[in-house]
Amino acid sequence: MDAKIISINISDKKGVRKKPVDSVVIKENYGIETDAHASEKWHRQISLLAIESIDKMRAKGLKVGPGDFAENITTQGISLISLPVGTRMLIGKDIEVEVSQIGKLCHNRCAIYEQAGDCVMPREGIFVKVLKGGVMNKGDGIRVKS
């Protein structure tokens, strides 16, 4: 299976579940133009989580889907957590990103953790910084740059 984007998710404020959209503009050294987490001031410009990780939470009985873990991009067919920091990826035709962080520390327990006693985003989500921007569409391919 080829790696691809199955959902693009944005929110206008931090700390809430993100809503899916079909297309976004990605700005170099910033992130998704309309997302609350985008910033030139830090390395976590876009977050990614695999649908395979979300499926682990569904197997625990949770009714969750893309965007519910506050990830910007939900992927399919790529092992995100196996990509070391510094790995570059190409998304769609124009966009180039670089893995800047794997996982994160959760300072407070989110609603998903409270429901399930676990959350995959801190362990299996990754963050990237944008090296080259462009338009990202749901269904775009993802490939690791060699």
Question: Domain map of the chain by residue range?
Answer: 4-144
- Residue 37: partners with Cβ closer than 8 Å, 6 or more residues away: 11, 14, 31, 44, 45, 46, 47, 70, 72
For domain 4-144, the CATH superfamily is: PK beta-barrel domain-like (2.40.33.20)
pLDDT in tens, the chain (146 residues): 699 999 999 998 876 778 999 999 999 999 999 998 888 888 889 999 999 998 988 888 878 889 888 889 999 999 998 999 999 999 999 999 999 998 765 555 555 455 445 566 667 889 999 999 999 999 999 999 97
| SS3 label, residue 111 | helix
pLDDT digits (tens, 9 = 90+) for 62-89: 788 898 888 899 999 999 989 999 999 9
DSSP-assigned letter for residue 114: H
**How many angstroms separate the Cα of 108 from the Cα of each of 38, 97, 103?**
21, 28, 15
Residue 102 pLDDT: 87
- The single-letter code of the amino acid at 44 is R
